[in-house]
A = this chain, B = another copy of it.
Amino acid sequence: MRRILFLKVVAYDTMNEAIKEYLNKYKDRDTELEARSLAVGPKYLEYQFYQAAAGAGILKEVLRAEKDGFDAVVTSCFDDPFLYPAREISKDIIVTAPGESSMNLASVLGSRFSVIVGRDKWIPQMRENVYKYGFGEKLASFRSLGFGVLDFHRDEELTLKRMKEEIKKAIEKDYAEVIILGCSMQFGFYRELQKEFEVPVIDSMIAGLKQAEYLLELKEKTGWGFSRRGLYERPPEKEMEGWKLEEDFGLEGLLL
């Protein structure tokens, strides 16, 4: 079995069971799934400060997941906060995130994608990621619903209605061929949207999970993993030990 942790990088756990149940429908049969969230912090990460505040928790949970024997962890927020540091500092665990995995996939399924976001606020930082990952020319548009993260499941019919309006424009005006739902909390809607518009509508939660399984499979079979040269070169343990980073950051037993 491959043990994968779905890490909802926000500070409430009331949805963890529902999410796990949802994802269990999509996981590989060899995957054993667990869902965790952060102990403290914001309830969603649409501000950069909220992401920063969640940072220590995210890294700690990734390291703890590794300690706990997980094979992979999906750090679930579409902005992919701390994805690169998490890969750098962990030893061997696979780390994925919904933004990178959704965009990589979308770039294969069609020539241009649109990202449906909650609020305009999200766009500048996401655009940064789109370019960072190499998909600037494949971005058809961002389309904004005018919803906060916590609004998506308040009135699901209204959410669907607004999503449909914006997806229609993304397809017809911006020539999007693939739609990405740009927030992991937009989970659960993709099937109906996909049925209506007959283009792939990517649920980023699922995309993160499946990329984790994909990378795990590759690692087991071929040894391909995150390169330890450059971007993901790991800090020297002796140095971290000397600086007492474990103690100072509540990471006892996790770093070294």
Contacts and interface: CB of A to CB of B under 8 A. Distances in A.
Contact of A178 (B49, B121, B199, B227): B227
Nearest to A10: B243
Chain A contact residues: over half helix, strand or loop, or mixed? helix
Interface in A62-85: 82, 84-85
A221 interface: yes
A52 B55 contact: yes
Copies in the complex: 6
A215 B111 CA distance: 16
B226 A110 contact: yes
A225 B215 CA distance: 19
A159 interface: no
Interface string A103-145: 0110111111000000011011101100111111110000000
A114 to B, nearest CB: 12
Nearest to A221: B26
A52 B59 contact: yes
Nearest to A137: B134
A229 B171 contact: yes
Interface string A217-237: 110011111111111111100
A214 B210 contact: yes
A222 B209 CA distance: 12
B137 A222 contact: no
Interface in A191-250: 191, 194, 198-200, 202-203, 206, 210-211, 213-215, 217-218, 221-235, 243, 245, 248-249
A3 to B, nearest CB: 18
Contact of A218 (B47, B84, B210): B210
A89 interface: yes
Given A128-B132, A217-B28, A112 B230 contact: yes
17 contacts: A40-B248, A40-B249, A43-B243, A49-B89, A55-B55, A56-B56, A107-B133, A110-B229, A111-B127, A111-B230, A128-B132, A171-B229, A190-B222, A198-B229, A200-B226, A202-B224, A210-B217
